A = this chain, B = another copy of it.
């Protein structure tokens, strides 16, 4: 059977300053009469949600507000939102927030459209049953307020499965938002560390999808195109997005973090998040993301700066980027040209550098990049010790859907070494 790739990069993205104002007209064009607006209790006071509420009142949109989304959602917080959605019997959804809000809204839309389904039915195997979604969902308009997850472009919803202390999720094209409203003005309110950590998520989306196992080396080939996974491996279409996002990151991430008022930089990072999302939503991510789930899930007492939450938290972007130097040192030998190319885009001088050193060169480039952006010095700095490594490895195993896209095969021992090498990064 032939190796082929299908471009899943089909999100509708609306971009522009003040674009959120149009959202009520889109809802009316969709015939929506009973809208669910989802956000979290901090955002509800901020300009992005205010813009939506103003648009709703101006166009007399009938809606109910759900502002109890949990930052880094759990199965429990998903279920609470799902119950709200089931009771509300909504005909359209609007999610205003970061990945936590958009992912929670995707789950609420999915399960309220499948009221008979058990929660585990659609959750990724092996934790859940990974059943395909066959019912049509309600329209969902996603308004991202962080520049990180790219959730407005993907069919993925991630959450902490509490009793396993592991992140897992739901992955289906059916979950992809109908429309993403990307308003550069929405990121001006982002606190410094939130802007930084969101940017690290974009960085890893771009680097992991660009270095992911190529689509034509994935095996087995699906015998029927309907069985092709959403994460297909790197391909000529995702490569365009991943590389373009890297160029924007190299030029604008530091500016966007250091100066919240730098509209050009924050606006560019907002688009980079969308572009990287289209790339990885098509190609997939691998080890940094697979290993990040236990790093976030097993958090002890670490409280991230600039996050207004009442629980310990290793923000997703931080949990992803802390292992990146170790991961790309490990994957370098499998596609050295791509590692060198990425390093060059991020500012490294690769002239006369050896292919054998590609992984190390990208890793050193990342260390410099992260140090300049005040990233904590490894897993140790967010509260982990060597004694936690077995649990971190154990929490990575269920992420095979993601980690199998790594360009280099790996054993539990390899994962142990990668966590060990990430305890300290500078």
* Contact residues, A209-260 vs B (CB, 8 A): 215-216, 224-226, 235-237, 240-241, 244
Within 8 Å by CB of A2, from B22, B216, B235, B237, lies: B22
Shortest distance from the beta carbon of A236 to any chain B beta carbon, whole Å: 6
Would A22 and B7 count as touching, CB distance under 8 A?
Answer: no
In the assembled complex, A21 has its CB within 8 A of some CB on chain B: yes
Q: How far is the CA of A240 from the CA of B12 in the complex (A)?
A: 16
Report chain B residues within 8 Å CB of A235: 15
Q: How many A residues, CB 8 Å from partner?
A: 36
Q: Is A26 an interface residue (CB 8 A)?
A: yes
A4 with B25: in contact, given A12-B10, A14-B225 (CB under 8 Å)?
A: no
Which has the most chain B C-beta neighbours within 10 Å: A4, A12, A18? A4
Distance A225 CA – B243 CA, assembled complex (angstroms): 30
Partner among B5, B9, B12, B226 whose Cβ is within 8 Å of the Cβ of A6: B12
Partner of A16, one of B216, B244, B275: B216
Contact present for A25 and B224 (CB under 8 Å): yes
Q: Using known A-B contacts A25-B224, A29-B224, determine if residue A2 contacts B16 with beta carbons closer than 8 Å.
A: yes
Q: Does A13 contact B (CB under 8 A)?
A: yes
A275 to B235, CA, bound (A): 13
Q: Are A7 and B13 in contact (CB under 8 A)?
A: yes
Contact B25 A225, beta carbon cutoff 8 Å: yes
Query: Could you say which residues of chain B place their CB within 8 Å of the CB of A226?
Result: 25, 29
Q: What is the total number of copies of this protein in its complex? A: 2
- Compute how far the CA of A225 lies from the CA of B181 in the bound complex, rounded to whole angstroms: 12
Whether, in the assembled complex, A11 has its beta carbon less than 8 Å from a beta carbon of chain B, the answer is yes
Q: Is A375 an interface residue (CB 8 A)?
A: no
* Contact B237 A15, beta carbon cutoff 8 Å: yes
B2–A7 touching, CB < 8 Å: no
Q: Does A271 contact B (CB under 8 A)?
A: yes
In the complex, which of the residues B11, B237, B241 contacts A13, with contact meaning CB atoms closer than 8 Å? B237
| Interfacial chain B residues near A22, Cβ < 8 Å | 2, 4, 225
For the complex formed, measure the closest distance between the CB of A276 and the CB atoms of chain B, giving whole angstroms. 12
Once bound together, how far apart are the Cα atoms of A226 and B2, in whole Å? 40
**Closest residue to A185 on the B side, CB-wise?**
B2
Given contacts A224-B29, A236-B271, contact A7 B16 (CB under 8 A): no
Complex-state Cα separation, A21 to B240, whole angstroms: 26
A17 within 8 A of B: yes
Minimum Cβ distance to chain B for residue A339 (Å) = 21
The listed residue (B4, B8, B16) touching A4 by CB distance below 8 A is B16
Q: Tell me whether A15 and B19 are in contact (CB under 8 A).
A: no
User: 5 shortest A-B CB distances, which residue pairs?
Assistant: A4-B16, A2-B18, A7-B13, A4-B19, A10-B10
23 A-B residue pairings within 8 Å (CB atoms): A2-B17, A2-B18, A2-B19, A3-B17, A4-B14, A4-B18, A4-B22, A5-B16, A6-B12, A6-B14, A7-B11, A8-B12, A9-B9, A10-B10, A16-B215, A16-B216, A25-B224, A25-B225, A26-B225, A29-B226, A240-B240, A240-B244, A240-B275
Please name 9 further chain A to chain B contacts, defined as beta carbons within 8 Å, in addition to the given A14-B225, A26-B225, sorted by A numbering: A2-B19, A3-B16, A4-B22, A6-B15, A7-B13, A15-B235, A16-B216, A25-B225, A25-B226
